[in-house]
């Protein structure tokens, strides 16, 4: 992941370190915190250029304002060049620093790429607004995932030491909740600092070495950037990437459907260290590219397969990922390992990863057993229908008068087109009735009855007037029973509902799928309505 090196450029950085230099040492020869900073950064850049070649690094300095000395680049020579010209300004202002980082990252990477920040400071707190105290209290979280490593060039004997540590720790918590402070243990000197850099590099900048394994086929690989262990925030459970990336099988790209991933890494084959190339090894590097490698074969096959596939694999205990071919605009094609969030059930449409099994074995076993079970396929469906899916029933929402009136009008439209729309009429009628009962909204049932009755009286169309009465007023007639039974989905099984229904038009289903009706006569119904 891209790294920003931030160097403190406040005036206090010019303080010489330690007091154990005799008078014979010239003032100019006593190292200052600034010279230490330069040493530290150079050491870090050396490590990155040796071990993490594809890393992007940027260099920033901050004082009363933050300056981007060198934006993200893979050419670390440029960074080294800029280190030589680190300026020195005035006060320490963390506000300027944080907004500077945010701007740099948003401009270069947007808000999705995780960033590592290496802050080298002398631990001075600054004063007033923008001081470390101020920012630790009111600072904002970075809008992108980040991790801060702070290398504090603060002498343990300094009187601000304790507070400075505490505030820097708060800074980490406030801005990204992830990171570590590295402090000299005894005295502030060049050697101690060098050890600290080694620690940082060992922790976060060690290249990954592992194996991709597909049955008996395998290849040594490295991942860039190196994958980080994952610590779940809820239960502090730690997940580590295994050294064996074990292939489980293949899934079509469309089924995989570009899921959100935890991190992405370039997968590069390494030459195998065992004596595989006996007799050829003396040809040097050239021989490596002539030794058949599983990854290259895999890449080729992923590119030519008639459908596009990606490779499902296990990258740790209960941790999964997938490998796919990727080519950028320059037509250079390679393999990418995308690591999902840890867990077995992280992509809902793929279901539980541990339930992924070979299709052919499934078919074979089912054939042997004589079952004609349909072969399951992606996406894995999850139980319940969502509210926005209109079949078989539209979701009812009467939160606004509009929603209610729209339903009444819809019912009325169907009523006017009886008998062709009988099915739809009953479906709507039952849906409204169900909803009214759930809400305890009895008065609306009376209104619906009144509306339908009015429609009956008012209609002069011969066909409609013939059809409507049996539906509305003589529910006992066989036609209407058949109509309802054939169309209605049974809703409730409780006699309680019976008592809630005031009107004969509303057929009430019972548990045995039969319908009983409230035998209210037309006259009584009229009394009730008006």
Partner 1 sequence: MALHTKTVILMDHSQHLKEASGIQIEIDIGMMGGSRLRGGRKPEEEGFGRGHNWNYIPNFFPPVMKTLWTCAVENVIEYARIVYDVFADERLLRILLCQSTQGQTLWLNTWESVPTNYSGKQVGNVNQQSIPYITEAFANAGQPPSQKKQSFVGSAAGLQTGIKAAIDGLSQPSPSQIALMTSAAASGKGTVKPINRGRVVCITSCTTESIGQFTAEDLEDFLVTAVASQNRIANASDHLLPIVECELVLLSLHPLGKENTSRVLSRPLHDISNSVRAEVYVVTPDKLNEKILDICTSHHNLIVSTVTNIPMKEEQNAVSSSNYDVPFFHARMPSSSSETRMLRWSTPTAAKNGSGLCPGGVIQHCASATRITPVDVNSRPSTCLSNFVVNGRSVWLELPSRKGKQATHVLTPHGAEMWMHVMESRNTLEDLPAISEGVGGRITDYRINDFAEFIKSNILIPYPPGYSEHLPKPKYEKDGGSFVRRRSSSIDDGKKPVDVAKARLLRKTNYWPLTISGSVLFSLTAHIDKLLTLVQNETLSEMDKVECDKMIWNLMSLEARGDSAPPVPASHFRKGMKRDDQWKMVYGELETFIRANLHSETHKKVLECLLDCRSTDKSTTVSDPRIQDSGNGDKGSRGGKEINAEAALEEIKLLTSTPKSPVTDSPMSPPMSGSTTDVLDTNKVCRPNLLTLWMQKTEKRDLRTLTGGKLYPHLASSSNDQEGTGKSSRKNEA
Instruction: Tell me the C-alpha distance between 335 and 140, whole Å.
Output: 37
Question: In angstroms, rounded to a whole number, what is the distance separating the alpha carbons of residues 107 and 4?
Answer: 14
At residue 441, φ and ψ (nearest 5 deg) are -110, 70
Closest approach of partner 1 to the CB of residue 454, in Å:
6
Shortest distance (Å) from residue 422 CB to partner 1: 15
Near partner 1 in 192-251, by CB under 8 A: 214-217, 219, 225, 234-235, 246-251
Determine the interface stretch with partner 1 among 29-37, 82-90, 330-338, 519-527 (rule: CB under 8 A).
330-338
* Of 80-88, 141-149, 156-164, 512-520: span binding partner 1 (CB under 8 A): 141-149
Residues 68-127 that bind partner 1 (CB under 8 A): 74, 108-113
Cα 518 from Cα 45, distance rounded (Å): 86
CA gyration radius, the chain: 36
CB crowding 89-126: b at 16 or more within 10 Å, else e:
bebbbbbbbbbbbbebbeebbeeebbbbbbbbbbbbbb
Whether the upstream peptide bond of residue 109 has omega within 30° of 0, thus cis, is no
C-alpha neighbours within 13 Å on the C-beta side of residue 103: 11
User: Is there a contact between 448 and 491 (Cβ–Cβ < 8 Å)?
Assistant: no
Identify any residues that bridge with 57 across adjacent strands, giving them in sequence order. 3, 73
Q: Quickly tell me which residue has 């009429």 as its tokens.
A: 425
Residue 307 touching partner 1 (CB under 8 A): yes
Is residue 258 within the footprint of partner 1 (CB under 8 A)? yes
Is residue 425 part of the contact set for partner 1 (CB under 8 A)? Answer: no
**Binding residues among 16-45 for partner 1 as defined by CB under 8 A:** none
Q: Contact between 304 and partner 1 (CB under 8 A)?
A: yes
Strand 244-252 versus strand 263-269 pairing type: unpaired
User: Cα separation of 248 and 322, whole Å?
Assistant: 10
| Contact flag: residue 129 with partner 1 (CB under 8 A) | no
DSSP assignment letter at 27: G
Interface with partner 1 (CB under 8 A), residue from 44, 208, 230, 294: 294
Burial of 317 (0-12, 13-18, 19+ CB in 10 A): exposed
Q: Which is nearer to partner 1, 256 or 484 (CB)?
A: 256
Please confirm whether the linkage preceding 379 is cis (ω < 30° from 0). Answer: yes
Per CB under 8 A, which of residues 456..475 are in contact with partner 1? 457-461
Residue 11 or residue 500: which is nearer to partner 1 going by CB?
500
- Enumerate residues 361-420 that contact partner 1 by CB under 8 A: 361-362, 365, 375-390, 394-399, 401, 403-406, 408-409, 412-413, 416-417
**Total residue length of the chain:** 530
DSSP structure string for 478-524: HHHHHHHHHHPPP----HHHHHH---TTS-EE-TTS-EE-----HHH
Residues 145-174 vs partner 1: string with x where CB under 8 A?
x-----------------------------
Q: Is 115 helix (H, G, I), strand (E, B) or coil?
A: strand
49 near partner 1 (CB under 8 A): no
Please, what is the minimum distance in Å from the beta carbon of residue 475 to partner 1? 21
To partner 1, the closest distance from the beta carbon of 36 in angstroms equals 30
CA trace torsion 55, 10, 81, 189 (10° rounding): -80
* Stretch binding partner 1 (CB under 8 A), from 203-211, 258-266, 472-480, 502-510: 258-266
* Residue range at the interface with partner 1 (CB under 8 A); choices 147-155, 161-169, 193-201, 450-458: 450-458
Per-residue interface string for the shown chain with partner 1, residues 267-286, x marking contact by CB under 8 A: -xxxx----x--x-------
Which of 50, 162, 257, 466 is close enough to bind partner 1 by CB under 8 A? 257
Residue number with CB closer to partner 1 (22 or 292) = 292
From 124-132, 146-154, 170-178, 354-362, span contacting partner 1 (CB under 8 A): 354-362
Pick from 296, 481, 498, 520: which binds partner 1 (CB under 8 A)?
Answer: 296
User: Which one among 19, 20, 282, 496 touches partner 1, defined by CB under 8 A?
Assistant: 496
Number of residues binding to partner 1, judged by CB under 8 A: 155
């Amino acid at each position: 992941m891209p790294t920003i090196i931030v160097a403190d450029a406040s005036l206090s950085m010019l303080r010489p370190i330690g007091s154990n230099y005799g008078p014979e040492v010239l003032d100019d020869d006593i190292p200052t915190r600034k010279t230490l900073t330069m040493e530290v950064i150079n050491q870090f850049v050396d490590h990155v250029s040796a071990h993490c070649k594809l890393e992007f690094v940027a260099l920033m300095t901050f004082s009363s304002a933050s300056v981007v000395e060198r934006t993200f680049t893979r050419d670390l020579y440029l960074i080294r060049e800029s280190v030589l010209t680190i300026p020195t300004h005035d006060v320490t202002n963390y506000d300027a620093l944080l907004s500077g980082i945010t701007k740099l990252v948003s401009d270069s990477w947007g808000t999705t790429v995780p960033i590592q920040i290496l802050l080298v400071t002398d631990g001075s707190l600054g004063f007033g607004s923008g001081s470390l105290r101020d920012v630790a209290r009111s600072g904002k979280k970075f809008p992108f995932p980040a991790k801060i490593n702070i290398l504090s060039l603060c002498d343990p004997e300094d009187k601000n030491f304790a507070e400075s540590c505490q505030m820097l720790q708060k800074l980490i918590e406030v801005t990204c909740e992830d990171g570590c402070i590295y402090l000299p243990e005894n005295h502030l000197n060049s050697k101690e600092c060098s050890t600290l850099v080694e620690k940082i590099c060992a922790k976060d900048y060690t290249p990954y070495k592992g194996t991709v394994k597909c049955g008996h086929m395998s290849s040594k690989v490295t991942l860039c950037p190196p994958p980080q262990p994952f610590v779940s925030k809820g239960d502090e459970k730690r997940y580590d990437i295994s050294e064996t990336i074990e292939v489980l099988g293949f899934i079509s790209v469309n089924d995989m459907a570009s899921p959100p991933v935890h991190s992405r890494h370039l997968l590069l084959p390494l030459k195998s260290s065992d004596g595989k190339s006996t007799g050829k090894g003396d040809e040097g590097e050239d021989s490596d590219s002539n030794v058949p490698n599983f990854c290259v074969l895999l890449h080729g096959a992923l590119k030519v397969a008639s459908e596009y596939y990606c490779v499902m694999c296990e990258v740790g205990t209960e941790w999964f990922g997938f490998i796919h071919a990727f080519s950028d605009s320059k037509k250079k094609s390679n393999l990418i390992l995308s690591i999902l969030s840890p867990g077995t059930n992280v992509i809902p449409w793929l279901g539980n990863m541990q339930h992924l099994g070979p299709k052919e074995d499934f078919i074979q076993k089912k054939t042997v057993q004589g079952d004609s079970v349909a072969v399951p396929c992606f996406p894995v469906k999850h139980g319940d229908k969502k509210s926005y899916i209109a079949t078989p029933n539209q979701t009812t929402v009467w939160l606004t008068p509009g929603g209610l009136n729209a339903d009444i009008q819809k019912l009325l439209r169907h009523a006017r087109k009886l008998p062709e729309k009988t099915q739809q009429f009953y479906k709507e009628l039952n849906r409204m009735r169900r909803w009214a009962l759930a809400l305890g909204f009895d008065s609306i049932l009376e209104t619906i009855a009144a509306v339908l009755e009015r429609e009956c009286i008012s209609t002069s169309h011969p066909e409609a007037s013939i059809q409507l009465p049996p539906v509305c007023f003589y529910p006992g007639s066989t036609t209407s029973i058949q109509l309802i039974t054939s169309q209605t989905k049974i809703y409730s099984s409780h006699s309680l509902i019976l008592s809630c229904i005031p009107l004969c038009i509303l057929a009430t289903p019972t548990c045995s799928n039969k319908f009983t009706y409230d035998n209210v006569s037309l006259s009584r119904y009229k009394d009730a309505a008006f």
